[in-house]
């Protein structure tokens, strides 16, 4: 008979009950060399859930314990919530039971099981120290004092009865006992959200040869459009984004229902609705090239995107190279490569309470004839957090008759 322990299972009994459902995720590169390790929790027959950032930069991965390993494949990615469901054939490990998230209380006992620093199936305990919610009063992070270390990402946070409270995802560096798990109820929505992301994997957009550029300084008119493809390199999902001209008064050009405006020299005056991934959302004031782009020029760029409460802060060094011809799906264009590197500080109140600071590297190919970006690469990363890696390319130019 299972004995009770502080209104729950004894730790050893709890471990015996749920540890068979927590596995190591071992990732490898294209040559089969190990890239990293994380954890995963069995949530349904032949299905495990882990953090998407555990799978980042890998070409293949297995789930393993001791000397037993199984090949695995990504089934549903939800990078926005940092949850990925993986599929394993002929896998019989038992699924866990999900906790009722609505009954979670600060101060409740919880247990974390994962694989910190490669130490397989390690048990630690703590309390729920906070329930972090969105502005809509929806739970987005379970804060806990249960220790979490690198390798624990994707592991399980369980209540005193062995029910899954959340998937352990991160800790805040230089802080004591500030550890987090994404709530287990998100797992119920993972298949639908993941399938929606997979549906964005469209075939490469058919390209059209660019028509002759109109005279610089006044060449754009209503109906012109620049179509980009935004590729998430973590999940390999892609989506289309369009900058479409609404009209021009000869000195400024309006795009996308007035949510973006530029001077005729390409300098961005205002943008209230980013559509092309990080190429838009991380853009410095004035645009990536500004108004004084010169080959060989270097400068510092410090700015905030969004408002003071939720915007991100960038501290970057920028260097412009000489102009060369660059090929993208839309054609070949003379372009200057601008390299930005430095740090980004993610604002508190987003997916991670308290925010975080990490490295960011960006490459911007700016076509001087088109006066806009034709290719953009973004790589932001912070230890223990999901990386954000994107490529944006110009795939089509439509000119109004």
Name the residue ranges covered by the structural domains of the chain.
Answer: 1-199, 225-398
pLDDT at 208: 42
**Lowest-pLDDT range of 16-30, 193-207, 241-255, 350-364:** 193-207
Give residue 308's pLDDT band: very low, low, confident or very high (50, 70, 90).
Answer: low
Give residue 55's pLDDT band: very low, low, confident or very high (50, 70, 90).
Answer: confident
pLDDT at 54: 87
pLDDT exceeds cutoff 70 at 98: yes
Kindly report the CATH number that applies to the domain delimited by 1-199: 2.40.10.120
pLDDT exceeds cutoff 50 at 210: no
pLDDT at 366: 96
pLDDT at 204: 47
pLDDT exceeds cutoff 90 at 228: yes
Question: Between these two residues, 352 and 61, which has the higher pLDDT value?
Answer: 61
pTM across the whole model: 0.58
Average pLDDT over residues 69-84: 90
**Lowest-pLDDT range of 72-76, 273-277, 347-351:** 347-351
pLDDT at 393: 96
**What's the fold here for domain 225-398?**
YmcC-like fold (2.40.360)
SS3 for the chain, per residue?
CCCECCCCECHHHHHHHHHHHEEEEEEECCCCCEEEEEEEEEEECCEEEECHHHHCCCCEEEEEECCEEEEEEEEEEECCCCEEEEECCCCCCCCCCECCHHHCCCCCEEEEEECHHHCCCEEEEEEEEEEEECCCCCEEEEEECCCCCCCCCCCEEEECCCCEEEEEEEECCCCCCCEEEEECCHHHHHHHHHHHHHHCCCCCCCCCCCCCCCCCCCCCCCCCEEEEEEEECCCCEEEEEEEEEEEECCCEEEEHHHCEEEECCCCEEEECCCCCHHHHHCCCCCCCCCCCCCCCCEEEEEEECCCCCCCCEEEEEEEEEEEEEEEECCEEEEEEEEEEEEEEEECCCCCCCCCEEEEEEEEEEEECCCCEEEEEEEEEECCCCCCEEEEEEEEEEECCC
**Lowest-pLDDT range of 152-156, 255-259, 293-297:** 293-297
What average pLDDT does the chain have?
85
pLDDT exceeds cutoff 60 at 340: yes
pLDDT at 96: 97
Tens of pLDDT, residues 169-179: 865 544 456 78
pLDDT exceeds cutoff 50 at 202: no
pLDDT exceeds cutoff 90 at 309: no
Average pLDDT over residues 202-219: 45
């Amino acid at each position: 008979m299972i004995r009770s322990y502080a209104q729950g299972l004894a730790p050893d009994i709890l471990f015996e009950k749920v540890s068979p459902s927590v596995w190591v995720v071992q990732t490898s590169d294209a040559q089969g060399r190990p890239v990293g390790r994380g954890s995963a929790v069995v949530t349904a027959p032949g299905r495990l859930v882990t953090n998407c950032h555990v799978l980042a930069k890998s070409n293949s991965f297995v789930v393993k314990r001791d000397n037993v390993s199984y090949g695995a494949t990504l089934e549903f990615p939800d990078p926005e919530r940092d949850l990925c469901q993986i599929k394993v054939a002929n896998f019989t490990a038992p699924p866990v039971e999900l906790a009722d998230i609505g009954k979670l209380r600060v101060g409740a006992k919880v247990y974390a099981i994962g694989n910190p620093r490669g130490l397989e199936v390690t048990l630690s305990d703590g309390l729920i120290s906070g329930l972090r919610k969105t502005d809509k009063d929806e739970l987005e992070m379970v804060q806990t004092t249960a220790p979490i270390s690198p390798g624990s990402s994707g592991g399980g946070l369980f209540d005193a009865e062995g029910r899954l409270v959340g998937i352990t995802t991160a800790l805040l560096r230089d802080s004591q006992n500030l550890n987090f798990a994404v709530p287990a109820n998100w797992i119920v929505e993972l298949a639908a959200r993941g399938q929606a992301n997979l549906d964005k994997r469209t075939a490469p957009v058919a390209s059209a040869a660019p028509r002759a550029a109109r005279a610089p300084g006044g060449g754009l008119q209503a109906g012109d459009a620049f179509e980009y493809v935004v590729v998430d390199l973590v999940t390999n999902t892609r989506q289309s984004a369009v900058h479409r001209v609404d009209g021009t008064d000869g000195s400024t050009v309006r795009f996308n229902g007035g949510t973006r405006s530029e001077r005729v020299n390409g300098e961005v005056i205002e943008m209230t609705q980013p559509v092309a991934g990080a190429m838009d959302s991380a853009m410095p004031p004035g645009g990536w090239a500004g108004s004084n782009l010169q080959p060989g020029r270097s400068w510092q760029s410090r700015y905030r995107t969004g408002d003071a409460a939720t915007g991100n802060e960038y501290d970057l060094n920028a260097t412009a190279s000489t102009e060369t011809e660059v090929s993208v799906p839309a054609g070949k264009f003379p372009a200057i490569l601008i390299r930005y590197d430095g740090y980004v500080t993610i604002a508190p109140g987003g997916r991670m309470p308290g925010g975080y600071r990490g490295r960011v590297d960006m490459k911007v190919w700016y076509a001087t004839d088109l006066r806009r970006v034709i290719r953009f690469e973004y790589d932001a990363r912070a230890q223990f957090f999901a990386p954000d890696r994107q490529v944006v390319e110009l795939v089509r130019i439509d000119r109004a008759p």
